[in-house]
A and B are shown apart, each in its own frame.
Chain A
Amino acid sequence: MSTGNMNLTLKVWRQKNAQSAGKMVTYKAENISPDMSFLEMLDVVNESLILKGDEPIHFDHDCREGICGMCSLYINGRPHGPKRAITTCQLHMRSFHDGETITIEPWRAAAFPVVKDLAVDRSAFDRIQQSGGFVSVNTGGVPDANEIAIPKVIADEAFNSATCIGCGACVAACKNASAMLFVSAKISQLAMLPQGQPERWSRVQAMVAQMDAEGFGSCTNTGACEAECPKEISLTNISRMNNDYFSAKLFREEHVHEHGTSGE
Chain B
Amino acid sequence: MNLDAKIPAGPLAEKWDKHKFNLKLVNPANKRKYDVIVVGTGLAGASAAASLAELGYNVKAFCFQDSPRRAHSIAAQGGINAAKNYQNDGDSVYRLFYDTIKGGDYRAREGNVYRLAQVSVNIIDQCVAQGVPFAREYGGLLDNRSFGGSQVSRTFYARGQTGQQLLLGAYSALNRQIHLGKVKMYTRTEMLDVVTIDGQAKGIVTRSLTSGKIDTHTGHAVLLCTGGYGNVFYLSTNAAGSNVTAAWRAHKRGALFANPCYTQIHPTCIPVTGSHQSKLTLMSESLRNDGRVWAPKTIAIAEQLRKGTLKADQVKEEDRDYFLERKYPSFGNLVPRDVASRNAKEMVDENRGVGGSGIAVFLDFADAIKRLGQEAVAAKYGNLFDMYYQITNEDPYKQPMRIYPAVHYTMGGLWVDYNLSTNVPGLYALGECNFSDHGANRLGASALMQGLADGYFVIPYTLGDYLATIGPKPVDANHPAFEKTKQEVVTRINTLLALKGTKTVNEYHRDLGHIMWEYCGMARTEEGLTKAKGLIQALRADFWKNAIVVGENEEVNASLEKAGRVADFLELGELMVDDALMRKESCGGHFRLESQTEEGEALRDDEHFTFVGAWEYKGDNQPEELHKEDLNFEFVHLTQRSYK
Contacts and interface: CB of A to CB of B under 8 A. Distances in A.
Contacts of B138: 152
A145 interface: yes
A232 to B, nearest CB: 11
Contact of A260 (B176, B275, B390): B176
A63 interface: yes
A133 interface: yes
B542 interface: no
Contacts of A115: 188, 210, 556
Given A62-B70, A122-B66, A260-B179, A2 B276 contact: yes
A62 B241 contact: yes
B623 interface: no
A259 B172 CA distance: 13
B124 interface: yes
A39 B188 CA distance: 20
Nearest to B173: A134
Interface stretch (A66-74, A96-104, A176-184, A217-225): A66-74
Interface string B17-52: 000000000000000000000000000000100110
Interface string A182-198: 00000001100101100
A126 interface: yes
B54 A264 contact: yes
Contacts of A143: 125, 129
Given A40-B278, A146-B86, A163-B161, A139 B54 contact: yes
Contact of A123 (B53, B159, B187, B559): B187
Nearest to A167: B70
A212 interface: no
B130 A195 contact: yes
Contacts of B281: 64-65
Interface string A130-159: 111111111110111110111110011011
Interface stretch (B468-476, B547-555, B627-635): B547-555
B136 interface: yes
Interface stretch (B139-147, B296-304, B533-541): B139-147
Interface string B592-628: 0000000000000000000000000000000000000
A245 to B, nearest CB: 19
A43 interface: yes
Interface size class on chain A is: 35 or more
Contacts, number: 237
A155 B133 contact: yes
A90 interface: yes
A174 interface: no
A152 B558 CA distance: 45
Nearest to A72: B66
Nearest to B393: A94
Nearest to B275: A1
Interface stretch (A50-58, A233-241, A246-254): A50-58
Contact of B50 (A44, A56, A92, A139): A139
A62 B391 contact: no
A166 interface: yes
Among A40, A115, A142, chain B packs the most CB atoms within 10 A around the CB of A142
29 contacts: A1-B276, A36-B276, A43-B506, A50-B548, A56-B559, A60-B66, A64-B240, A64-B281, A65-B387, A67-B164, A68-B72, A126-B69, A126-B175, A133-B172, A137-B129, A138-B54, A139-B51, A140-B456, A148-B128, A149-B139, A150-B140, A158-B133, A163-B159, A189-B131, A190-B131, A193-B133, A195-B130, A259-B179, A264-B54
Interface of B: 47, 50-51, 53-56, 65-70, 72, 74-75, 84, 86, 122, 124-131, 133-142, 158-159, 161, 163-165, 168, 171-173, 175-176, 178-180, 182, 185, 187-188, 210, 237, 239-241, 273-279, 281-282, 386-387, 390-391, 393, 456-457, 460, 500, 502, 504, 506-507, 548, 550-551, 555-556, 558-559
